[in-house]
Amino acid sequence: MTAIDRMMGITRHPIPLRPTDAAVFMGAPAPRDLWDLVAASDPYALVSQTPEWMDAMVALGDVVNATRWYRAADGRDLILPMARRRFGGRRATRSSFGEGWGFGGLLAPGGPTRVDVTGVFADLATLPALRTTMRVNPLQADVWDLADHPEGLIERKRLAHVIDLAGGSEAVWSDQTTSQGRRGVRRARKLGVEVRRDTDGDLLPVFYDMLLQSFDRWAERQSEPRWLARYRGKRRDPLEKFAMLSERLGDAFGLYVAFHEDRPAAAVLVLMGANAHYTRGVMDVEVGGTTNANDLLHWTAIEDACASGCLTYHMGESSEGSSLARYKQKMGATPVPYAEYIVERMPLTRMDAALRGTVKRMIGFKDA
């Protein structure tokens, strides 16, 4: 049992697996009303696992909705949000999700079990798709790890950071946020940093301008041509993507922008549902780097998440021991190891890694 399981009062017991235990595939795409019901009954659910999120993905034109519906042996309905590339037919690659679209993975009443995930793995292994990728909800890492895995499954270890909001904002502030984090919030307030929350997309141009600046900084750190960094960044995160999310998600879309003396200092995009998910962060180094604007941004979003009844505040992925990981822990987050899973019929992952490695060597790329 994980710490988050205990926090939510969910008990999981190892169950000897039998063929009759496995969930069975019922159809795709899953009925929308059923998807809504299952998402509402899963305490781990994230906004990126909802039909509205899929609507935004499909609206951008690259994928179609291939979300799968299963039924467990005990009668529970299970939903696996999944996108399929528009071109390629039956062999087109599928994902749930990754590739800039956040966490996917299985939804189930009360949260999925090891038996549920075993059935899903068995089903995915039969698909004709050349590759199926799943970047699952980190708080479900235990059941995905303990499930029976199909032969040849590729498992990539990853690390996320999550804040437990069960005790409310006062408990997060006093028991989880470090003294350094609290000082940063107080300093930003003392300097007059102002935080505005935008749910309509009005501040997206301000956010996106800082995002473009961040592409340039990463290019410099990684010895990458600026044009290439911008091309890759805009391909992964075009402005239209955020505009579509704002339109489709409504109040679940929270863009927090910090201003100092009317100049934009930093911004974070936080999705609010049963759980909160910080999914993008940007900063104007000249302004935000000297005012602790990021500290106040996150603390404001954490307070809002607590007020909205969110159980957790996901802070996304980071490398173990990195400055980003240390920052998240400063704000009260706990490291949560999990994995990305890949089922493939051709060695696409190995070929992709080899090609990327060759290109990096050619341009002198340095992983930062």
Q: pLDDT digit string (tens) for 120-167?
A: 999 999 999 999 999 999 999 999 999 999 988 999 999 999 999 999
Domain 3-159+338-363 belongs in CATH node 3.40.630.30? yes
Question: Which has the closest alpha carbon to 258: 269, 266, 249, 248?
Answer: 266
**Pairing state of beta strands 83-85 and 63-65?**
antiparallel
Question: Which has the closest alpha carbon to 342: 97, 81, 37?
Answer: 97
Domains in the chain: boundaries = 3-159+338-363, 167-310
- How far apart CA 209 and CA 44 sit, in angstroms, is 33
How many Å is the Cα radius of gyration of the chain? Answer: 21
- Torsions phi, psi for 367 (to 5 deg): -65, 125
- Helix or strand or coil: residue 343? strand
Say which CATH topology domain 167-310 has. Answer: Aminopeptidase (3.40.630)
| pLDDT of residue 287 exceeding 90 | no
What pLDDT is attached to residue 229? 83
Under DSSP, the state recorded for 174 is I
DSSP notation for 188-200? HHHTT-EEEEESS
Fold: same for 3-159+338-363 and 167-310: yes
Q: Which residues 6+ apart lie within 8 Å of 43 measured at CB?
A: 8, 10, 110, 111, 274, 311
- State mean pLDDT over 191-204: 94
| pLDDT of residue 249 exceeding 80 | yes
Share of the chain above pLDDT 90, in %: 72
What pLDDT is attached to residue 221? 77
What mean pLDDT, rounded, does the chain reach? 88
- State mean pLDDT over 84-94: 92
Task: Give yes or no for a cis peptide into 29 (omega within 30° of 0).
Answer: yes
| pLDDT of residue 354 exceeding 70 | no
| pLDDT of residue 349 exceeding 80 | no
- State mean pLDDT over 322-349: 89
Task: Give the pLDDT confidence of 200-243 residue by residue, as tens digits.
Answer: 889 999 999 999 988 888 777 777 788 888 888 899 999 999 99
